[in-house]
Structure 1
Amino acid sequence: MPRYFFDICYGSTFARDPTGSECDGMVAVRDEAVRALPAIARDEIPRGGDRQAFTVLVRDENDITVYTATLMFTGLWIGDSPLPEPEEEPLG
């Protein structure tokens, strides 16, 4: 079964998949990418602000990109709602 590598990009972060996953065809490749995006967003949206994009770039065994998918998040404060103060990063 062919191996595909699911590289992740969000903000200034680019994480290259070193091990990959075996997928039985292109539908399985797409399904894997689609499953990965919400999981990444769930962890990163709370600490990343109101405008974010999360992208999965899928490479085949020959290092050729065969599929890409992007999930966008946009939040907007409405009306007289005060903008929240940014939280300070914990020291450590």
Structure 2
Amino acid sequence: MKLSDALFNWLQMQRVCEARPHDNAAKDTLEFFGQILREDHNLDQFMIESMDDTEIRVRYEFGGNVKSQAWDRELCEQLLNDINSNPKYNQ
């Protein structure tokens, strides 16, 4: 999995976990993508750096280098919106 894809997947799950703190499946999935970032891409740290009405920026560090990448906020939160709109997951 490419770094940008793993970061995006982690970001989507981070937003789901923030909105649904008791969702254990979401927590497990978040940890899975975190493991990919740490083990496959050797990231030391990764976190949401900033968020506004239009974008979410993730900061990540590896080997002393610091980088960041931004995504459209609506796209990042689409998974959360899909989960919330499905009655199966909201009982």
Q: Report the TM range for the smaller structure's normalisation.
A: 0.3 to 0.5
Whose helix fraction is larger, Structure 1's or Structure 2's? Answer: 2
Whose strand fraction is larger, Structure 1's or Structure 2's? Answer: 1
Which of the two has higher C-alpha Rg?
1
Q: Which has the higher contact order (CA 8 A, sep 6+)?
A: 1
Task: State the TM-score, normalized to the length of structure 1.
Answer: 0.32
